[in-house]
Amino acid sequence: MGKTEEKGLTGPPTNDEIAARFEEMASLLELKGTEGYKLRAYHRAAQSVASHPEPLSELSRRGELQTVRGIGASFAAKVEEILKTRTCPLLERLRREIPPGILELVRIPGVGAKTAALVWRELGVADAAALEAAAKEGRLASLKGLGDKRAAAILAGIESLRRWEGRTPIARAMAVSETLLRELARHPAVVRAEAAGSLRRMRETVGDLDLLVATESPAEVLRFFASLPLVSEVIALGETKASVRVTAMGQVDVRAVRPPGYPAALLYFTGSKEHNVRLREIAKALGYKLNEYGLFREGETSPVAAAGEADIYAALGLPFVPPEVREDDGEVEAAIAGELPAFVELSDLKGDLHLHSLWSDGRDEIRALAEEAARAGLEYIAVTDHSRSLAFARGLTPERLMQQAVEIAALNREGLGTRILHGCEVEVLGDGTLDTPDAVLERLDFVIAAVHSPVRREAVDMTARLTRAAGHPLVDVIAHPTGRIIGQREPYPVDVGRLIEAAAASGCALELNASPHRLDLAPQYVRQAAAAGVKISVNTDAHDLRSLADLAVGVGAARRGWLTPRAALNAMSLDGLLKWRRERIGARGYRSASAGPPGEV
DNA sequence: GCCGTTTTCGGCCCGACTGTTTTCAGTCG
């Protein structure tokens, strides 16, 4: 997640910034030897502040800071200090006592607060580079509790952190996961295997990949897994869990359980950790104990029967909570109150409104795309090839667009089982205008607008550019609004909050691009946009037949953004979608191609 | 340090694996 601290420098500290200060205090206190519940209080307060919907500066004004879960008298005073001065006396004192590089040490896998404090105190090691040198020179093994093996593990940890910066983009993690699961499934004792952890929760980057296996022979399956050729190093190998490194990404953890325990293990191993803690607290209050082996009535040794995760939630008096929202980000409270929304499912989506064909840079014929969409049960698709400015993608001139209309009309007459809308992904120019005339756009069924050439982006106000495009009466959707490529390219410098306001004002929808490389808008903005009444269109942006299947990935990301079918543009029926378009375009004095027979004015 | 349909004090989620330990500490999820 991007840090928003820098942005907040002009206004009062944001909730994220306050949470970061609490996390920093927690880390520094731990390095000083603070343990247990006090530490946990700092972490919980940080988590609670970060996910609080209202700015704490507002709560402070009303004297209501202590209404936030985890904030008592002492923390409220610290929040007040941070709001006024961006720091507080305790934090300043800790920062003076402990060099900043020590915090970096704790990020190394295998190094915790105790080890970091030890090497600092005994060896004067104050950052990762110094720790690496100390390990290579054999100076670590002289310390109490450290030996050659731990020194080697620390070196491997530093290497891993450097190579992956701790996290792998979800697209790569999905690919690695699929490969490993396929390999695992070859073992005859494997009953079932799937990815859990942050991949199942659809986080955009994955730290450790977590896999879960159901089998009657856990130890045997784990040994088999650890011996796979893809595995470059075995970190740990026990009776029920193994940790390894694979060449294509960082660490992979595998947990093997017997089939009856699978639901509880899946729940536990999916996390998030914070969500699990909340569930175990609820379990305890109800006289249960919840762990990765099951839900147990107090004093009993055999678990409450559960065929799936839903049974465990039900025993706790809760509805099933989809994995994508298990972040202790309001979902537990909503579930308790019976107000957890029905989030969007793949079966809710009736169409895909962003596809490329051979006419521009796609790899398949429109006919093939339509046939594949029909097989997937989609009622409609929009073919949205690039417009002429995108020369390297063979963008279409108005003349070519009109030729394409003829082909699409013919295919629709033929009837391929899905209605093909004739659209275009129109290029947004530097000043926010479109590269294709209104008169041409008026003859299309659907228009999405996008930025692909953020050249001179320092010179161009990207927010002004995109808000102007979103305000264009003929633009239905802004595609991949922030332009990010996960793990490769930072988002454009666009103020998404203002883009959402502009879209709300004009009735334009925003895209959640389903490509696992993009997932753009990011889920937190999807939640924000939908709350502002902006429709979200979950589109694949497919450039070939295979990528049409990315719609399922997009739906997962959409759930992570708390998207309901009601707020999803392409959950509408074809008639509903065309009506939505007619009304918003007609209200602004334009006409839409689908409004009536062509040629009518 | 926080919190209360058990409580304003005494609780606070639960367990696996490794290394360097002769009984457990540290780390991780």
Residues A226-254: pLDDT tens digits?
998 888 888 889 888 999 988 777 789 99
pLDDT band at A592 (very low <50, low <70, confident <90, very high): low
Distance (Å) from CA A549 to C1' B28? 35
Q: How confident is the model at residue A456 (pLDDT cuts 50, 70, 90)?
A: very low
What's the pLDDT at A445? 95
- Largest Cα separation within chain A, whole Å, is 87
Tokens of A512: 């959640």
**Protein CB footprint (7 Å) on chain B nucleotides:** 1-3, 6, 11-21, 25-29
Q: Rounded to whole angstroms, how far apart are CA atoms A325 and A186?
A: 32
Fold for the domain defined by A262-336: Beta Polymerase; domain 3 (3.30.210)
The pLDDT assigned to A256 comes to: 93
CA distance A534 to A467: 14
Distance A285 CA to B7 C1' (A): 13
Higher pLDDT, A560 or A3: A560
* Closest nucleotide to A243 by C1' from CA: B17
Which of A496, A485, A488 lies closest to A452 in space, CA to CA?
Answer: A485
Give just the sign of the alpha carbon dihedral A442, A444, A446, A450. negative
Percent of chain A past pLDDT 70, that is, above it, reads 94
Q: Is the pLDDT of residue A285 over 90?
A: no
* C-alpha pair distances (Å), A348 with each of A239, A533, A563, A564: 42, 19, 11, 9
Predicted local distance difference test score (pLDDT) of residue A211: 95
Report the C-alpha gap between A542 and A72 in whole angstroms. 51
| A101-164 maps to CATH 1.10.150.20 | yes
Residue A4 pLDDT > 70, yes or no? no
Check: CATH 3.40.50.1100 for A168-257? no
Whole-model pTM: value is 0.78
Q: Where are the domains of chain A?
A: 6-97, 101-164, 168-257, 262-336, 346-352+426-591
Tokens for A351?
Answer: 């169409």
What is the reported pLDDT for A107? 83
pLDDT confidence tier of residue A488, bands split at 50, 70 and 90: low
Question: Which tokens go with A446?
Answer: 């659907």
Does A7 score more than 60 pLDDT?
no
The SS3 assignment for A84 reads helix
Name the residue with tokens 């359980």. Answer: A257
From the list A195, A265, A254, A250, the residue with the least C-alpha distance to A227 is: A254
Q: Which nucleotide is nearest to A111 (CA to C1')?
A: B27
Structure tokens at A506: 């004009």
User: Letter for the amino acid at A277?
Assistant: V
Lowest mean per-residue pLDDT among A167-176, A257-266, A395-404: A167-176
**CA of A296 and C1' of B9: distance in angstroms?**
28
Mean pLDDT value across chain A:
88
Say how far A231 CA is from B23 C1', in Å. Answer: 34
Average pLDDT over residues A23-45: 86
Instruction: Please name the residue whose C-alpha is nearest to the C1' of nucleotide B21.
Output: A145
Q: Structurally, what CATH architecture does the domain formed by A6-97 represent? A: Orthogonal Bundle (1.10)
Q: How far is the CA of A115 from the C1' of B19 (A)?
A: 13
pLDDT digits (tens, 9 = 90+) for A492-516: 778 899 999 999 999 999 999 999 8
CA of A306 to C1' of B17 (A): 27
Span A406-410, average pLDDT: 96
pLDDT for the residue A170 = 87
Q: Which residues 6+ apart lie within 8 Å of A518 measured at CB?
A: A480, A484, A485, A486, A541
Between the CA of A82 and the C1' of B10, what is the distance in angstroms? 31
pLDDT tens by residue, A579-589: 999 998 887 77
d(CA A156, CA A109): 9
Between A593 and A333, name the one with better pLDDT.
A333
pLDDT at residue A2 above 60? Answer: no
The average pLDDT across A19-43 equals 87
Mean pLDDT of A204-223: 91
Confidence of residue A110 (pLDDT cuts 50, 70, 90): confident
Give the per-residue pLDDT at A594: 58
Domain A6-97 and domain A101-164, same fold? Reply is: yes
Cα A537 to its chain centre, rounded Å, is 16
The closest nt to A37, taking CA to C1', is: B12
Distance CA A289, CA A29 (A): 30
Nearest nucleotide (CA of A241 to C1'):
B16
The arithmetic mean of pLDDT across residues A343-349, rounded, is: 97
Helices then strands, counting H and E runs in chain A, come out as: 24, 16
> What's the CATH code, domain A346-352+426-591?
3.20.20.140
Q: Cα A418 to the chain's mean position, in Å?
A: 31
